[in-house]
């Protein structure tokens, strides 16, 4: 006969161990993140060139706008302290798009590289986002993955997943 309480306890310990190991593993800002979207490569490339889409993808931390010159974008990052502004050139490369910072001619500026490739078995397009920035805290692996996840949701459904406005059984600070 199976001891249900022991089985549940063992399962809980196994899950707890997995969660603890995942939480202890630091996010590598330089490590590329990849997501597959059910959309053709041309649509993906066009989507990522739109400053309004980029603003939505990176959430409350960034606002992207077209700069004065063609193929230039201005990124306004809210760091919680002094805001950071990046002017980037948008280059179409063999692998996808590169947002290349032009802040200082002597030092490399921030760089976000979106690589696009056909997904296996005709399942759409793989999007891989790599960040090389002078302020790695701004663009972490978690933030790049979130941007990719949101891009996939917007392209496939026209909506972005959110918990905002979702009811829950938990009270808020104002309820206490």
pLDDT score, position 70:
82
pLDDT score, position 86:
84
pLDDT score, position 141:
72
pLDDT score, position 151:
95
Query: Is the per-residue pLDDT at 165 higher than 50?
Result: yes
Question: For the chain, what is the mean pLDDT?
Answer: 77
* Alpha-carbon gap, residue 89 to 105, rounded angstroms: 13
Structure tokens at 21: 């190991």
* Alpha-carbon gap, residue 64 to 49, rounded angstroms: 11
Query: Lowest mean pLDDT: which of 16-20, 43-47, 99-103, 112-116?
Result: 16-20
pLDDT score, position 156:
94
- Express each pLDDT in 115-134 by its tens digit: 999 999 999 999 999 887 65
Q: Once rounded to an integer, what is the mean pLDDT over residues 99-103?
A: 80
Query: Is the per-residue pLDDT at 87 higher than 70?
Result: yes
Q: Once rounded to an integer, what is the mean pLDDT over residues 52-80?
A: 87
DSSP secondary structure of the chain? ---HHHHHHHHHHHHHHHHHHHHHSPP-TTS-EEEEESS-HHHHHHHHT-HHHHHHHTGGGEEEEE-SSTTEEEEEE--SSS-EEEEEEEEE-SSEEEEEE-S-SSS---EEEEEEEEPGGG--EEEEEEEE-SSTTTS-HHHHHHHHHHHHHHHHHS-----TT---SSPPGGG-
Model confidence at 152, pLDDT cuts 50, 70, 90, reads very high
Structure tokens at 25: 């593993």
- Express each pLDDT in 37-58 by its tens digit: 999 999 999 999 999 999 999 8
Q: Which domains are present in the chain? A: 26-157 (3.30.530.20)
Model confidence at 59, pLDDT cuts 50, 70, 90, reads confident
């Amino acid at each position: 006969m199976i001891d249900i309480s022991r089985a549940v306890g063992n399962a809980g310990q196994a899950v707890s161990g997995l969660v603890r190991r995942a939480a202890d593993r630091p996010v590598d800002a330089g490590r590329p993140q990849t997501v597959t979207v059910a959309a053709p490569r041309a649509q993906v490339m066009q989507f990522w060139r739109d400053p309004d889409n980029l603003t939505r993808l990176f959430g409350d931390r960034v606002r992207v706008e077209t700069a004065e010159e063609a193929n230039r974008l201005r990124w306004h990052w809210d760091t919680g302290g002094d805001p950071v502004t990046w002017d980037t050139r948008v280059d179409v490369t063999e692998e996808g798009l590169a947002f290349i910072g032009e802040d200082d001619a002597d030092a490399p500026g921030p760089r976000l590289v979106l690589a696009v490739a056909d997904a296996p078995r005709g399942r759409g397009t793989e999007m891989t986002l790599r960040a090389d920035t002078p302020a790695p805290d701004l663009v972490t692996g978690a933030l790049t993955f979130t941007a990719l996840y949101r891009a996939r949701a917007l392209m496939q459904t026209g909506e972005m997943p959110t918990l905002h406005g979702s009811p829950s059984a938990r009270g808020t600070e104002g309820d206490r």
